[in-house]
């Protein structure tokens, strides 16, 4: 363990601002996990009739947050959200792209189709909430995907152990009853980018990071967390394959890669890879990553 301290510390100290594990990213992930723990504990305190609810949350918050860290899926989700927000802030600073209302979302709000317009309005409100939450390093329970909410609540029940009671059951039932996955930001984005005419969401400077990553996930067939990770400077090959699997022409892919990573080398031979081949390569990579997790 001691032999690894130097190399690990050296890596962290030399990591650039846009590193996968920068101080900002680690702090944001830690903040989201802590916020999830506080929300669950507050509901538990209310259900069990705790008199000092704030003290109860404070007493168990750090331990439950650490317990949540044992979930690879939850960690990966929080990490992806932190990276998405980092890119969102970068696009605002470098390109003046509004973190809430992107040009594409504005166009969708004005769409003649009422279903698209109403979904876009709901997505706008959800993106505004996401912006505020990320600035506070928080993650509302209701914004978790359904499978992750289930895993988070199961982890909380394991943390409770023998102290579980009917009141804890009531707290869990209340949290599940209040949950509506279809109203969450990611579900709204997925609906907006699912249609064949929504491929314009793959134009990062028009769609913004949130819609872009949802579109990349939907059209390339990879989990959204992996789509977000592919935006990192050392993952340009996977990003190029994801865009190719989504039907984007090689010339436009080179333009996007240069916009994201000006120092990156052009992706050679991309014109020789069709959509099906790119999708197959991505699927193989995803399966390897999932086995490793």
pLDDT in tens, 108-157: 999 999 999 999 999 999 999 999 999 999 999 999 999 999 999 999 99
d(C-alpha 158, C-alpha 163), whole Å: 10
pLDDT tens digit at each of 293 positions of the chain: 667 666 766 665 665 555 666 788 999 999 999 999 999 999 999 887 777 888 999 999 999 999 999 999 999 999 999 999 999 999 999 999 999 999 999 999 999 999 999 999 999 999 999 999 999 999 999 999 999 999 999 999 999 886 667 888 889 999 999 999 999 999 999 999 987 567 789 999 999 999 999 999 999 999 999 999 999 888 888 999 999 999 999 889 988 888 888 877 777 788 889 889 999 988 887 777 666 55
- In whole angstroms, how far apart are CA 135 and each of 57, 106, 126, 141? 22, 23, 14, 16
* For the chain, domain boundaries: 19-179
CB distance 68 to 74 below 8 Å: yes
Half-sphere exposure of 166 (CA within 13 A, CB side): 0
pLDDT in tens, 26-60: 999 999 999 999 999 999 998 877 778 889 999 99
d(C-alpha 223, C-alpha 142), whole Å: 19
């Amino acid at each position: 363990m001691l032999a690894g301290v130097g190399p690990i510390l050296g890596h962290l100290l030399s990591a650039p601002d846009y590193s996968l594990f920068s101080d900002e990213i680690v702090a944001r992930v830690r903040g989201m996990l802590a916020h999830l723990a506080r929300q669950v504990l507050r509901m538990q305190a209310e259900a069990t009739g705790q008199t000092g609810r704030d003290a109860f949350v404070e007493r168990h918050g750090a331990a439950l947050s650490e317990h949540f860290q044992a979930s690879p899926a939850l960690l990966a989700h929080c990490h992806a959200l932190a990276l998405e927000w980092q890119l969102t802030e970068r696009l605002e600073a470098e390109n003046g792209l509004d973190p809430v209302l992107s040009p594409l979302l504005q166009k969708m709000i004005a769409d003649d189709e009422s279903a698209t317009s109403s979904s876009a309005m709901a997505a706008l409100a959800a993106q505004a909430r996401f912006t505020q939450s990320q600035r506070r390093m928080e993650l509302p329970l209701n914004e978790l995907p359904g499978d992750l909410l289930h895993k988070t609540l199961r982890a909380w029940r394991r943390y409770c152990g023998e102290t579980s009671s009917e009141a804890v059951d009531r707290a869990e039932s209340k949290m599940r009853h209040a949950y509506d996955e279809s109203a969450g930001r990611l579900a709204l984005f997925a609906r907006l980018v699912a249609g064949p005419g929504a491929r314009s969401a793959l134009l990062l400077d028009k769609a913004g990071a949130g819609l872009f990553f949802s579109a990349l996930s939907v059209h390339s067939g990879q989990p959204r967390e992996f789509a977000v990770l592919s935006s990192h400077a050392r993952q340009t090959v996977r990003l190029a394959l994801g865009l190719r699997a989504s039907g984007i022409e090689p010339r436009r892919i080179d333009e996007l890669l240069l916009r994201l990573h000006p120092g990156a080398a052009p992706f050679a031979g991309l014109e020789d890879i069709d959509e099906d081949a790119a999708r197959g390569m991505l699927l193989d990579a995803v399966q390897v990553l999932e086995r490793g997790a």
